[in-house]
Chain A
Amino acid sequence: MDLRETADEIAFRLEARTWLEANVPSEPLPSFDTAEGFALHRQWEKKLYDGRWSAVSWPEQYGGRGADYIKWLIFEEEYYRAGAPGRVNQNGIFLLGPTIMEVGTDAQKEKFLPTMASSEIVWGQAWSEPNAGSDLAGIKSKALRDGDDWILNGQKIWASRAVWADWCFGIFRTDPEAERHRGLTFILCPLNLPGITVRPIAQLDGDTGFAEIFFDDVRVPVENTLGEVDKGWGVAMATAGFERGVSLRSPARFSEAVNRLVALWQRLGDKSDTALADAVTDVWMQAEGYRLHTYQTVTGMLEGRPIGAEASLNKIFWSEMDVRIHEIALQIIGPEAERMEGPLERWVDGFLFSLSGPIYAGTNEIQRNIIADRVLQLPKGM
């Protein structure tokens, strides 16, 4: 155990810091869930890519730096420290990308990874359906084989980034006889094809960060299948493992948020309110604990101990912490907490956004079931 950074890691940190300080936009970009903001975020991603910072943990041949997970965490710390824009293509770069690297063909890697790293193609996620939410295996959208094509029919919902994204990655039922987790296939699909209708859904904050996608006899070539036909559940679970594990919410996000919270408390907090000071300290410890836990997880991964169902613990932890950070911030800012536009709007926006955390990427109740079943080995129920 040595929790000090190596000379190489320090040099990497400084290189990232220097680049970010020179390149991060001085004014925050508009939300990427607006037309204007989406375009500006895509431009920012291209700039990151040109500096080879868009996917630091990817191999160099696909536009990355071949950085190990420790360096990825260091990059994330610098990224949030610099106040850099949100990652509009995170569903691609952090979820689909690693999955393609694991199960994709060489041709798929060549075709999809570089354009993903540069955000020439921005990816949306199309998994949930009106009747397949927590019960994701209840997917009914179909892909039927016709020659060298799949013909897609059905409806997806809560598809993140789908309003302005270029492609989506979805799960479709390819074996109509099979039930539940069997007979599903992971398919990559452009969103501009005939037969596709995207209906934006306004989120709690009013932005259209997700959408419904209707597939009506949509033809995609079978080479867009990721992994084996009828084995899509396993591919999806690999993606979900990345999502719940370390990639979706890097600790830097919360370290940065609690540092801002401490600064907010110092500026506006009632210093005679010891319960408030305790609450701020409590979430500071949570963010620090999450950071340490992640470094431990990542060291384990580097040493050949991959993350399993424990990933579900992370997802519960960060999502509940995020809500708590923002609850305390709103308590501190008092009357300003009612305003959607104003000097402290970021905390109000952040609060609304934080409320999605315990729900998406598998609700926290589903995560608790997974932990109970797979980590604690309790009998299956429901």
Chain B
Amino acid sequence: MKFSFTDDQRLFAEGLRELLANECPASVVREVWENGTGHSPELWSHLSGMGVLSMLAPESAGGMGGSFVDAILLFQELGRAAVPGPVLEHMAVAVPALASTRFGAPLIAGDSVATLWVDDSPYVAHAGVADVIVRKDHVLESFDATDAHGMDGGRRLFTVTGGDRTNADANVGGLDPFDAMALASAAYLIGLSERMIEIAAEYARVREQFGKPIGSFQAVKHLMSDALLKVEFAKAPTYRAAFSASTGADTSVRDISMAKALASEAAYRTSRSTMQVHGGIGYTWEADLQLWMKKAWALMRSYGDANFHRRRVSGFVLA
């Protein structure tokens, strides 16, 4: 029993954090919101160059040959920086599922951009910037995408009609694409939450009222500590789910659901607490916090919300 990441896994995640600190500051996230694309091709090519996008493709296909355990800290780092665009859908589903198809090479190279359309959803996130849409059993190209006005400017929503269809199986190593995305977004939500806590802590250290930094008040300390508690205790279940998925464990679906339920609730609690710590400025368009909050509110409901996943865990635990 060894519940830790290797030095290589940690170093790769640190490298990604550094890259994103330079290439994806809040100003870049805000820019893709404001230019209406929800995607940054420049950032995309940086992620491709580092091997992030191809982490889950086999080496034989030109990928990094990684597992979900190798990728999970990367999803988390992408969340810390609130990276816009279909990076999770591309990385966690399209690349590993389609690596050996004719779509594989350009996806692995990052030249083609993919997103995912899960069953039962009326909307497709990122369809406006995607070259291909992956569905459970086929791939769509040359479709029509109509803006559905999503809340998160880094994850624009569309309705999709038409398109040329090619049959393809979107399972990822035995995982349904929905579950692969639930796992990736659990880690991404943890990253978002970590950064929201940092942003609020930075604010609480400098914002003064009653002649003192508001972070010195217990009411503020306790709000922040409780948020951190939820986030920290969502991590180990998420890493375990990655291990289960990597090893094809029988408990993969249960473990992924547990991770997504806990991460979704942690992210929501964190968004509420960190916004509260900001006071009035937290309710403005100008504060960067909203870039993280709205991503959290979008992702916590995507690929199964906390209630859905908790009930799925119930099915395993209470049966």
A156 and B227 CA atoms in complex are apart in Å by 35
Check if B218 sits within 8 Å of A365, measured CB to CB.
Answer: yes
Check if A378 sits within 8 Å of B204, measured CB to CB.
Answer: yes
A277 on the B face (CB < 8 A): yes
Residues in A whose Cβ lies below 8 Å from that of B216: 378-381
Q: Which parts of B153-208 form the interface with A (CB within 8 Å)?
A: 197, 201, 204-205
Check if B3 sits within 8 Å of A369, measured CB to CB.
Answer: no
B225-265 interface code vs A (CB 8 A; 1 in, 0 out): 11011001111110110010000000000000010011000
Check if A1 sits within 8 Å of B243, measured CB to CB.
Answer: yes
Instruction: Tell me how far the C-beta of B215 lies from the nearest C-beta in chain A, rounded to whole angstroms.
Output: 4
A382 on the B face (CB < 8 A): yes
B127 on the A face (CB < 8 A): no
B94-106 interface code vs A (CB 8 A; 1 in, 0 out): 0000000000000
Check if B234 sits within 8 Å of A379, measured CB to CB.
Answer: no
A-B contact count (CB 8 A): 148
Most buried by B among A265, A284, A286, A300: A284
A301-331 interface code vs B (CB 8 A; 1 in, 0 out): 0010000001001001100000000000000
Among residues of A, the one whose C-beta sits closest to the C-beta of B315 is A281
B57 on the A face (CB < 8 A): no
Q: Which parts of A368-382 form the interface with B (CB within 8 Å)?
A: 368-369, 371-373, 375-382
B272 on the A face (CB < 8 A): no
A265 and B217 CA atoms in complex are apart in Å by 42
Residues in B whose Cβ lies below 8 Å from that of A281: 310-311, 313-314, 317-318
B213 on the A face (CB < 8 A): yes
A293 and B258 CA atoms in complex are apart in Å by 14
A282 and B224 CA atoms in complex are apart in Å by 22
Question: Which of A4-12, A94-102, A136-144 forms part of the interface with chain B?
Answer: A4-12
B22 on the A face (CB < 8 A): no
A9 and B307 CA atoms in complex are apart in Å by 36
B212 on the A face (CB < 8 A): yes
A317 and B1 CA atoms in complex are apart in Å by 23
B220 on the A face (CB < 8 A): yes
A22 on the B face (CB < 8 A): no
Instruction: Tell me how far the C-beta of B310 lies from the nearest C-beta in chain A, rounded to whole angstroms.
Output: 5
Check if A1 sits within 8 Å of B2, measured CB to CB.
Answer: yes
A288 on the B face (CB < 8 A): yes
Given A285-B261, A292-B236, 8 additional A-B pairs, CB 8 A:
A70-B1, A262-B317, A277-B318, A281-B310, A281-B318, A286-B233, A376-B197, A379-B216
29 A-B pairs (CB sep. < 8 Å): A3-B1, A3-B243, A4-B1, A70-B1, A265-B318, A266-B318, A277-B318, A278-B307, A281-B311, A282-B310, A285-B261, A285-B310, A292-B3, A292-B236, A293-B233, A296-B3, A296-B235, A296-B239, A299-B1, A313-B228, A313-B229, A313-B232, A365-B222, A367-B225, A371-B225, A376-B225, A378-B204, A378-B213, A379-B215
